[in-house]
Structure 1
Amino acid sequence: MRLFHLLQEIKAERSQVEHELRDYHEFWYSAEKKGYSGTALFTKKEPLSVTQGIGLPEHDTEGRVLTAEFPKHYLVNVYTPNSQRGLTRLDYRIKWNKLFLEHLKKLEKQKPVIFCGDLNVAHKENRTNAGFTDQEREGFSRIIDTFRHFNNQPNNYTWWSLIIAL
């Protein structure tokens, strides 16, 4: 039985999606810009509360963070900003990483935090495209990568940019 589903880069509003996940409570956080980013959470257990964003208006317009509070933990769904081709949003991304980490630390003072999502980064050096810069990887190194903990074989990817495939 799956207790929850976390979706990132949904690019839609709830009213645009026809689906049926019976017995799940659903929470959507769409970007102000239509057809851009966004996150959604589907959970069997009803949370005590759900918060959209990290509490900073200048960073909460893209639907990137949903925080669900449960009795013994927080569950955070994140869609980290991409640095974009030519690294045009790298400075924004670095600032966002710092603020998101502060959000997690604030929650962690109250109870354990589990966060999942699309972090838009490759942990090991690969190339100098968005998701591969030293600044992005340095921020990623501060967290426990549970995928790598349980899957330590080489050449496993949890993210790959479609930009590179073009």
Structure 2
Amino acid sequence: MPASAVPRATRRAAVLGALTGALLTGCDLDLPGSSSDGTASPAPSPDLELADAALAATDQALALVTAVRSAHPALRSRLDPLVALHRAHGQVLTDTGASAPPSSPVPVPRRSGQALRQVRAREQGLQLDLAGWSVAAQDGALARLLAVLSAGVAQQLADPGGALR
């Protein structure tokens, strides 16, 4: 099949998958404020606080997408890629030593169009937050990780055939 016949989203997904895989297998984030034996250092580092914030925001986005899927069964298959994305991102962030309180229940609009707009707005905010946190991170590995996570969300937003279009 000629390269031009391959959908852009597929290439993007492959690149994102490769980058995420490289980060998962190639990086051991040992952020100050976390330790390998599971005990916390006395003062959390700014980078650990960024990772905690990123995990909390990712968990909140997942809670919204999950609630919309439950309230609007017709949207489930469209939102499945976001569920998978946020679960993978949450796991990667947890692996850095990040922690976040459990997400609280999210109200969902009755109309599916409004619910999708709410999800899109949350995803846009998450993407911008992740990009900002990647710039603010002092640790290069965490900065790259947050940038890759931001790119993953951006890909979902940009996918012309995706859930949020």
TM-score scaled by length of structure 2: 0.30
Higher relative contact order (CA 8 A, sep 6+): 2
More helix by share: 2
More strand by share: 1
